[in-house]
Amino acid sequence: MEPGLFSGYNTGMEFFLNDPAIPRLPPKETRLLDLRAEPYPDGQRIKVNLELTPFAEKPYVDLHLTDPAGAPVASASIVEPVAWKLELTLHIRKSTPDAGKYTLLASLLYPDLGEIDRRQITLELSRPSE
């Protein structure tokens, strides 16, 4: 790395430079390794952790959360993530989410190849305590 490349206010950028010794997979072999979700105590947000295989080309990841009736309540699109481990918060659109089993679907895709991999999990959402 060049001296002074990361000087000034943005010194934390080294975080985004992954180890070049780690083998990176081509798009057709890139996969979702792990998908976890946990509701926040307020019942309005979901913490999502996602892990991908090291990739040679940055993929896209789409997340869709549905309520117990199957209606969509949250979604997010991650365009060309810079890291293989991601953490984000989904905000449920309903002002008072229903208690019950919610389904989170994660799709890994490339615009020119379509969907490469997908994972689906369920999580239990209870009414927030007042």
Choose the weakest-confidence range: 61-70, 94-103, 107-116. 94-103
User: Residue 3 pLDDT > 50, yes or no?
Assistant: no
Distance from C-alpha of 44 to C-alpha of 31, rounded to nearest angstrom: 29
pLDDT at residue 95, as a whole number: 82
pLDDT in tens, 49-65: 999 999 999 999 999 99
Choose the weakest-confidence range: 8-22, 67-81, 95-109. 8-22
pLDDT at residue 7, as a whole number: 45
In order of their start, the domains of the chain are 24-125 (2.60.40.2550)
Q: pTM above the 0.85 mark?
A: no
pLDDT at residue 120, as a whole number: 98
User: Residue 14 pLDDT > 90, yes or no?
Assistant: no
Task: Write out the H or E segment, with its range, that includes residue 103.
Answer: strand 100-110
Beta bridge partners of 60: 79, 109
